[in-house]
Amino acid sequence: MTVDTSPTPSTPTLDLPPDAPSDEFLSQLLRQSEQQKVNIHTEISGWLQELRQRSAYDVTKQRMPNRKDEEWRFTDISELLGLKFQLPPSEEVTQDAIAPLILPEAAQSHIVFVNGIYAPNLSDTSGLPEGVYAGNLSHLPLDNCYEAVKYIAYQDGDKELFTALNSTGFPDVAVLWANPNVVVETPIQILFITTVEDQPSFSQPRGND
């Protein structure tokens, strides 16, 4: 399996429409999403920009839910609306720190994301069989990458507010890929770690299998 280990870091710019949300909370999250840096194959960077732009547009056409909405009548998010979020800082997490979180049966079949960013130095997939990939989108072989983005870009509920917001600024994607007729008996663990800061922060990881 050939792996491209040279993704291109970039920060795509969002062209928000003039009727961007007047809701300050949503506006804040959109601004934060725009600042998210992503690592992705140069060949599909245009696809990423299109997805982010389309999702940002979907966000601008909506408002934050409240308890007057049927689906949210039992959920009070008023405290959330009072928070000022920042992008998570780059944090150094050690193997010793995550060791208690790794399942024994996934000691050689786990991938780790820290604050939404894939951490290959903390991941171990040496126990997976040939034809199985566990990692992130930028390290997925390019031929498979074209197929994977179809599932990431088009899925049920992609216009829902929080799904669209996630698509506007996700910095990385967790990917599980198995070639046809490959049997995977080894459990695969995906571990998302968020470091604790005094200032509220948010990350927008994405998963695809």
pTM of the model: 0.75
Looking at every residue in the chain, the average pLDDT score rounds to: 79
Q: Report pLDDT digits (tens) over 166-209.
A: 788 777 788 898 999 999 999 999 999 888 777 777 777 665 55
Q: Report pLDDT digits (tens) over 17-50.
A: 555 555 778 888 887 777 766 666 666 677 777 8
Residue 47: its pLDDT value, please? 74
Residue 153: its pLDDT value, please? 63
> Can you tell me the distance from the alpha carbon of 92 to that of 102, in angstroms, rounded to the nearest whole number?
18
Instruction: List 174's β-bridge partners, or say none.
Output: 136, 207
Q: Report pLDDT digits (tens) over 141-162.
A: 877 877 777 777 666 667 788 8
> Can you tell me the distance from the alpha carbon of 75 to that of 53, in angstroms, rounded to the nearest whole number?
29
